[in-house]
Structure 1
Amino acid sequence: MTDASTGRARNRTHPEPNPYLRGLFAPVHDEIIAVDLPVTGRIPESLRGRYLRNGPNPLHVEDPAAYHWFSGEGMVHGVRLRDGRAEWYRNRWVRSDAVAGRLGEKLLHGPRHLDMDFAPNTHVQLFAGHCLALVEGGTLPYELDPELYTIGPFDFHGTLPGGLSAHPVVDPRSGELHAVAYCPAWPYVQYVVAGTDGRVRRHVDIPVVGRPMMHDFSLTERYVLLYDLPVVFTRSRPGGTPHPAWDPARPARLGVLPREGGADEVRWLEIEPCFVFHPMNAYEHGGRFITVHLVRYDRFFDPAAAGHPAPGEHLACLERWTVDLAAGTVRRERLDDRPVEYPRVDPRRLTGPHRFGYAMREREPGRDTGLLKYDLERGTVAEFRVPAGGDVGEGVFVPAAPDAAEDDGWVLAFAYDPAREATDLVVLAAQDFAAGPVARVHLPVRVPLGFHGNWIPDHH
């Protein structure tokens, strides 16, 4: 491990048959700090804060053939922007005890749920003054300091009854955090609400059969939407590690829970079999309807598909679901045939009506990837494409000002530049999306393909 003020990380990669250990997925092996980063274009003065993104970066893989992308220890990558400058880039493994021990460092210890010790690898969320690295499945969040060093596991000041979720929602009206957590050991999923004091004020255990994988959920002004779908945790052999698998015999249903309701108040609505990793947003209208925009897979984790599916083999499309609470029905409408993932909206619009949404275009054979901006009112799409051999991650919208219009702001993402063999932080003007970046911050290293991130403003 190195820690340098500038320079290129030594990405010691080796040929691997596993697609998640080679190419742009390949883990990096060094932690670095680079300062005064070069910039092409001009960074908007309103961007004052840190762009952080989490993703798997295994320290060591015992059995490369069995490794899956979802199981690598988390590494958070960050870029600090202020006064039109890119002050630093840094990357840090999240220090679970196992990671700290392998790096020869002092163990942080701290609270645990069911003795689970895993470095969260999926998301980063600021809440109640705490910057949290997140993962699902019963593991606690881990708190990070402003320079991405791990403080330790965070159990909401002793009030979190179990683990948390990779995808909590911070309600922009109340400032409270909502999450739906699951654990393969639980016969229920758990709806959790934490107040602005950082303490859990309410939780509801909702019985479910078969231990479903509930990666995400949706929140509206009055309701919580639960995606109980045909992906469940199973074991390949007695005593083995639980893993997600598609169960074709399992019905698919959407649960509608009043925010302040109990488990017996969940209304389950039958839907067509599918899997959903990521909703974009949900909101109520007309007194009886809920509109949900989400990315839908026909199926996922199908055990009938032997071996590792190649990255991009599973493709999903953006849909609009209309929930009719009076009739008890869910109507689907495909909005775009392009395969996408990682849908996002302006965070100020969460739980309420929104016009615009953003998504990453998945790579298809013979086509380049990029970012998409959806105008859901007009039904139009603007696209930013990356060059052949490049790639781009999730796009995060940052408003230009607290009271700016819904699409008046910037979309930030990590994009791999094949010409430099390194990654840029690209800054796109949301209102002129297809014009390309207004700024590119040139990082000295390749950032492996990863999952989710957020913008952490200086004043929050």
Structure 2
Amino acid sequence: MTEDQSKTANPYLGGLFAPAREEITAMDLPVTGRVPDALRGRYLRNGPNPLRVDDPAGHLWFSGEGMVHGVRLRDGRAAWYRNRWVRSDEVARQLGEKVLHGPRHLGMDFAPNTHVQEFAGHLLALVEGGSLPYELDPDLYTVGPFDFHGTLPGGLAAHTVIDPRSGELHTVAYCPAWSYVQYLVAATDGRVRRCVEIPVEGRPMMHDFSLTEHHVLLYDLPVAFAAGWGSPPAFRWDPRRPARLGLLPREGGAGRVRWLEIEPCYVFHAMNAHERDGLITVHLVRYDRFFDLTRPAPFRQPAYLERWTVATADGTVRRLELDERPVEFPRVDPRRLTLPHRFGYAVHQPAGEERTGFGTGLLKYDLERGTAEEFPVPPGGDIGEGVFVPAGPGAAEDEGWVLAFAYDPRRAATDLLVLAAQDFTAGPVARIHLPVRVPVGAHGNWIPDQPPGP
């Protein structure tokens, strides 16, 4: 099947979504502009990249095996680009390679395709729904499944928060086989030190969560696992499910969760949350509904940046829409996670059927002033999630760079853009030219080089 035929049958198999067909390594990439000397590390991004699709018409984008794309920056240059499939057992078999084996949760074995995060010296490809993360080496080759040194009681999740104060990893994991979700905390030694099982009904999809200094926020919303509909697990909007926001004290047990009723909606991604004087402030991206198969284009609904203010005294939740532009993939300076923050970044998404990829531009929000600046991409282009990299440990909140993959229709290939956060609309200070098109993907992170030891 050609890419055009695939697009006709399924938009997630053609055009800018068409999967990469091979793994490549390219050294000493050409650069327009100059890579800042302070950028020493790897920009990595994960995303679905199916090896084989038996039913193109029924293929779901998030069911493809994970492929991690990376660019290595150092000494003011781009040392390499490489892409590698995550080697689950099935991926290894399809590639004719030795199966790695390792621990499993409920016999699940899926090549994580959603995020990539370094923690406690381990580089992890992440996915939700009950599967384990997979560890990668610095060159993106798969080491094998990772169960936090035997301490992970189930699967992990696609989204984690590393508390900038403690360095610990927090997440909320779900699995269609469970009647609960797990709040997990891993200590800096890479072992899970805390697991709270919180009962929930109807097997909800909790793609993300929020963390403040004292609370965990759980989004129990009307999207739940649909038994027998697709593999890996697939989901549907269930209008019978109530929408509620759970408040769990960080050190509290499951019985201390306080459930607050909210209007029906869906939240894929939260930007950040913090609290002060009994008020919790959350910035997130809200859909009216998602996975609703009774509506046209159920997977292409618009979402908008909102501020939710939660009064812990009386349990009220106030919503305020901050921008009329549809957006997704919100991020902040990672040093501000769980803390008050002024700036945030998001992808400006085209509406409905206008989409060829995920983004028409990147937005920088000044949440204190209520303003936003946009760096647009040209017609036919696309841009992914923007990842903020501080200029140094003591740098100001927006003193640094925003990194993102962007498709250049003139080259029919992808660039890694380096935007100066304090001069956001001026254009990239560096445009690193990759030799191939990177398919539309999910989430990524900047993995800085470790400072040399004494």
Which of the five TM-score ranges fits, normalised by the shorter chain?
Answer: over 0.9
User: Normalising by the residue count of structure 1, what TM-score does the alignment of the two structures yield?
Assistant: 0.95
Residue 230 of structure 1 aligns with which residue?
222
Q: Distance in 1 between matches of 2:142 and 2:278?
A: 45
Residue 4 of structure 1 aligns with which residue?
none
Where 2:268 maps in the other structure, the secondary structure is: coil
Residue 332 of structure 1 aligns with which residue?
319
Q: Distance in 2 between matches of 1:424 and 1:332?
A: 37
Residue 155 of structure 2 aligns with which residue?
163
Where 1:437 maps in the other structure, the secondary structure is: coil
Where 1:348 maps in the other structure, the secondary structure is: helix
Equivalent residues of 1:235, 1:241 under 8 A apart: no
Residue 112 of structure 2 aligns with which residue?
120
Match of 1:357 among 340, 344, 361: 344
Q: Distance in 1 between matches of 2:146 and 2:231?
A: 28
Q: Does 1:249 align with 2:244?
A: no
Residue 17 of structure 2 aligns with which residue?
25
Residue 344 of structure 1 aligns with which residue?
331
**Root mean square deviation of aligned Cα:** 1.5
Q: Distance in 2 between matches of 1:396 and 1:240?
A: 31
Alignment of 1:96-245 (within 5 A): 96-236=88-228, 242-245=233-236
Specify every segment of 5 or more residues in structure 1 that has no aligned partner in the other structure, as ranges: 1-10
Q: Distance in 2 between matches of 1:352 and 1:277?
A: 21
Where 1:15 maps in the other structure, the secondary structure is: helix
Where 1:342 maps in the other structure, the secondary structure is: strand
Q: Distance in 2 between matches of 1:12 and 1:303?
A: 28
- CA deviations on 1:29-82 (whole Å, 9 max, x unpaired) are 110000000000011010000000000000000000110001000000000000
Equivalent residues of 2:4, 2:15 under 8 A apart: no
- CA deviations on 1:419-444 (whole Å, 9 max, x unpaired) are 00000000000001011111000000
Q: Does 1:277 align with 2:268?
A: yes
The letter of the residue matching 1:361 is H
Where 1:36 maps in the other structure, the secondary structure is: strand
Match of 1:296 among 286, 300, 310: 286
Residue 383 of structure 2 aligns with which residue?
392
Residue 316 of structure 1 aligns with which residue?
303
Once the two structures are overlaid, the 10-residue window that deviates more, 170-179 or 365-374, is 365-374
Q: Distance in 1 between matches of 2:421 and 2:148?
A: 35
Residue 403 of structure 1 aligns with which residue?
394
Offset at 1:201?
0.4
Distance verdict in 2 for CA 1:94–1:12, change over 3 Å: farther
Residue 7 of structure 1 aligns with which residue?
none
Q: Distance in 2 between matches of 1:117 and 1:230?
A: 27
The letter of the residue matching 1:438 is V
Offset at 1:241?
6.6
Q: Distance in 2 between matches of 1:268 and 1:338?
A: 30
The letter of the residue matching 1:146 is P
Equivalent residues of 2:63, 2:232 under 8 A apart: no
- CA deviations on 1:204-238 (whole Å, 9 max, x unpaired) are 0000000000000000001000000000112257x
Equivalent residues of 1:19, 1:310 under 8 A apart: no
Where 2:5 maps in the other structure, the secondary structure is: coil
Equivalent residues of 2:151, 2:192 under 8 A apart: yes
Equivalent residues of 2:273, 2:339 under 8 A apart: yes
Offset at 1:363?
1.6
Where 1:412 maps in the other structure, the secondary structure is: strand
Q: Distance in 2 between matches of 1:112 and 1:261?
A: 29
Moved over 6 A (4+): 365-368
- CA deviations on 1:338-375 (whole Å, 9 max, x unpaired) are 00000000000000000000000102366970000000
Q: Distance in 1 between matches of 2:232 and 2:414?
A: 35
Percent identical residues:
76
Q: Distance in 1 between matches of 2:220 and 2:102?
A: 32
Q: Distance in 1 between matches of 2:233 and 2:91?
A: 22
Equivalent residues of 1:12, 1:28 under 8 A apart: no
Offset at 1:327?
1.2
Equivalent residues of 1:13, 1:27 under 8 A apart: no
Where 2:266 maps in the other structure, the secondary structure is: coil
Residue 13 of structure 1 aligns with which residue?
3
Q: Does 1:45 align with 2:37?
A: yes
Distance verdict in 2 for CA 1:240–1:24, change over 3 Å: closer
Distance verdict in 2 for CA 1:240–1:178, change over 3 Å: closer
Q: Distance in 2 between matches of 1:86 and 1:449?
A: 21
The letter of the residue matching 2:200 is V
Where 2:164 maps in the other structure, the secondary structure is: coil
Offset at 1:303?
2.4
Where 1:61 maps in the other structure, the secondary structure is: coil
Equivalent residues of 2:274, 2:339 under 8 A apart: yes
The letter of the residue matching 1:41 is G
Specify every segment of 5 or more residues in structure 2 that has no aligned partner in the other structure, as ranges: none
Once the two structures are overlaid, the 10-residue window that deviates more, 117-126 or 362-371, is 362-371
Equivalent residues of 1:77, 1:91 under 8 A apart: yes
For this pair of structures, how many residues does the alignment match? Answer: 445
Offset at 1:242?
4.4
Equivalent residues of 2:63, 2:231 under 8 A apart: no
